[in-house]
Amino acid sequence: MLIAGNWKLNTTLDASVRLAKAVADAVDGSECDVLVCPPFVSIDAVSNALLGTSVHVGAQNVSATDEGAFTGEVSAPMLRAVGCSHVIVGHSERRALFGETDQIVATKTARALAASVTPIVCVGETLEERRADRVSDVVEGQLAGALGDLSADQIGKVVVAYEPVWAIGTGETASPEQAQEVHALIRAWLSKRASNASDIPILYGGSMKPGNAAGLLAQPDIDGGLIGGASLKAADFAAIVAAADEAE
């Protein structure tokens, strides 16, 4: 199981380091892979604060280019150099608020892989798309858009996160059955393109919290969680990690 915290636009430098240390203390002894994704400016300090612990550090975004005149961008090799093992790519907030297309998500995914940073590729439908019965079209379209040009070997190195947009930051959660249905569809898509599809982690994200984590993580195709709001409190995040340990 992989439990990843997406801190979004929260925590200044000191608060990031405090939260990272509190998480490391609270999840000590867990069998899970635990990851925290602070804001860019805190990554280096958090990475240092987590040395000697089992918690990994990742980023929330990456540039689609590696170097050059791209003001304000942060590249995959830069992330790797400050200790990032993972990077979130194509989060719905970036797609909706910053105009990230499937093509941009695909390029970022490839850049991350080339720098040996594992991309966590986010897919998921809006409420409107779910009501129009378009979940499989949308999710398969996003998978094809992000991963379609990669080799089987490259696809085997990604993490996928199913994040229904209507469940992110809303307090609404997909039921375990709703989530499992889409995770199975994602697994089937991966199975046609990678030989190790059963080992590719597929995370659920969308208002996962201590009270609902166990039910979601018990599903056969849910291999962990991408956690927003509940990752900002070490005790809540650790409770989700404990639920993942139980589900292993």
Please report, as ranges, the residues that interact with ligand PEP according to CB under 6 A.
Answer: 6, 163, 168-169, 205-208, 226-230
The residues that are catalytic are: 91, 163
Nearest residue (CB) to ligand PEP, 194 versus 207: 207
CB of 208 to ligand PEP, least distance (A): 6
Nearest residue (CB) to ligand PEP, 179 versus 194: 179
CB of 186 to ligand PEP, least distance (A): 16
In 3D space, the residue among 38, 109, 103, 116 whose CA is nearest the CA of residue 77 turns out to be 116
Q: Measured at CB, which residue is nearest to ligand PEP? A: 228
Nearest residue (CB) to ligand PEP, 206 versus 224: 206
Greatest CA separation found in the chain? 49
Q: Distance (Å, rounded) from C-alpha 144 to C-alpha 157? A: 16
Nearest residue (CB) to ligand PEP, 176 versus 229: 229
CB of 205 to ligand PEP, least distance (A): 3
Nearest residue (CB) to ligand PEP, 6 versus 180: 6
CB 212 within 8 A of CB 206: no
CB of 16 to ligand PEP, least distance (A): 17
CB of 223 to ligand PEP, least distance (A): 15
